[in-house]
Amino acid sequence: MPSPSSGPEAQRATPPTPDTVTDVVRWAAFSCVLVPVVLLWFGSSLAGATGTALGLAAVTSACRVLLRRSERGAARLRAEEGVPSAPSRGRHHRGGTGAHRGGRHSGGSTPVG
Domain chopping of the chain, boundaries:
20-81
Neighbours of 80 (CB within 10 A): 8
Average pLDDT, the chain: 75
Say whether pLDDT at 2 is over 70: no
CA gap 106, 84 in Å, rounded: 30
List pLDDT tens digits, range 21-47: 788 888 888 988 999 999 999 999 999
In angstroms, what CA-CA distances link 8 with 2, 17, 18, 32?
A: 12, 18, 22, 43
Report if pTM > 0.75: no
Q: Tell me how long the chain is.
A: 113
